[in-house]
Amino acid sequence: MNKTYRWARRAVWGTLAVVCTIGCNPLTTIAFLTHKDAKIPAEFPLTYKEGPKKDKEEIIVALFVTQGTGQSYEFAGADTALANEIIKRLPEMVKETKQKQKLTVLSSAQVNKFKMKNPNWKLMHPAERGKQLGADFVLEIHLEKMSLFQPGSQNSFYEGRADATVDMYDVEDGPGEPKHTYSQGFAHPKTGFRDASTKPVSAFRREFLENLAVELCRRHVEFKPGIGIADGH
């Protein structure tokens, strides 16, 4: 029996070692191996655990996504595409985990309407923008160093990369420093590169931004590991 136990334990840790080498999140992997219904907690939750808003039924989030100058032409409009993906996925992920508070992200149309009414919106503090939009939280995401192809491959291999800087503001705190700030380096696929002849650039770009959106959402809402160990790769 002891031999069987030792063998099973080695098998589990051996599997963990393998999946870690291909870029999987260790917390996700452990949850997958130990309990299929386990949830990974959010590092920067868009919710209230205490205070006057802890019983609020719906949390409203305003999202502003920008990208640095000089990005490759393949990323024209990537900020809008990423925003729309996050707007769709954040509420879906919250619903999946049966979180008590409903989460709603203001649509791109609502944010764009606000920008048109306030031409100098960039000069406004994010908390003030959020207040005018009726939001509880504001997420500012800035994208840099985006690429779709492996350097030096003459566009023969896909190897998507991006650096995202995220500032999260609690509107109730008023003007001041962000409640949370973090940087997110991102690579897709995580298992390495992919032959560019396997799919059109537009399809890989969409896949790249969808996976980036999921990675960013997971920093803000708890989630269940995917059915496959290499979830989202």
The tens place of each residue's pLDDT in the chain, 233 residues long, gives 444 445 445 544 444 444 444 344 555 444 445 455 678 889 999 988 887 787 788 999 999 999 998 888 889 999 999 999 999 999 999 888 777 789 999 999 999 999 999 999 999 999 999 999 999 999 999 999 999 999 999 999 999 999 999 999 999 999 999 999 999 999 999 888 999 999 999 999 999 999 999 999 999 998 877 633 344 44
CATH number of the structural domain 39-217: 3.40.50.10610
Of the candidates 47, 69, 38, the one whose C-alpha atom is nearest the C-alpha of residue 180 is: 47
pTM: 0.80
Domain boundaries, given as residue ranges, for the chain:
1-36, 39-217
Chain-centre distance for alpha carbon 209? 10
Which contacts of 85-89 are long-range, i.e. CB under 8 A and separated by 24 or more positions? 85/209, 85/210, 85/212, 85/213, 86/139, 86/141, 86/213, 86/216, 86/217, 87/63, 89/213, 89/214, 89/217
C-alpha 205/C-alpha 105 separation (Å) is 23
Q: What is the CA radius of gyration of the chain?
A: 20
